[in-house]
């Protein structure tokens, strides 16, 4: 049997796709925060998002990660709805 050419720390396909989903969510969050009118609020929200993602960076339990992604999506949708209402 041939030895695997992947390094020992390589991500599985499932882990890789999950990581991509989290990065996409983080980018969407930062893009949405850019639309907040007040600079002070933007700074606070950007700092909050960074700290939350940093704090949960080492999470490995798939159920916990899925829950955190769901919560982050809900926060993002709330922020987008608030911005839409403020713009109306």
Domain ranges of the chain: 15-87
For the chain, report the end-to-end CA distance as a whole number of angstroms.
64
3: pLDDT confidence band, cut at 50, 70 and 90?
low
- For residues 8 and 65, which has the higher predicted lDDT (pLDDT)? 65
Lowest mean pLDDT among 66-70, 78-82, 84-88: 84-88
| Residue 40 pLDDT greater than 70, yes or no | yes
* pLDDT greater than 80 at residue 88: no
Query: What average pLDDT score do residues 38-57 get?
Result: 95
pTM over 0.75: yes
72 CB-near residues (< 8 Å, 6+ apart): 25, 29, 52
């Amino acid at each position: 049997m041939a030895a695997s050419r992947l390094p020992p720390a390589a991500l599985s396909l499932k882990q890789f796709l999950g990581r991509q989903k989290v990065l996409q969510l983080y980018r969407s969050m930062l893009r949405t925060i850019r639309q907040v009118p007040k600079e002070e609020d933007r700074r606070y929200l950007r700092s909050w998002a960074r700290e939350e993602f940093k704090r949960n960076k080492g999470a490995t339990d798939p159920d916990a990660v899925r829950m955190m992604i769901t919560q982050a999506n809900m926060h993002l949708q709330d922020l987008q709805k608030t911005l839409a209402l403020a713009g109306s």
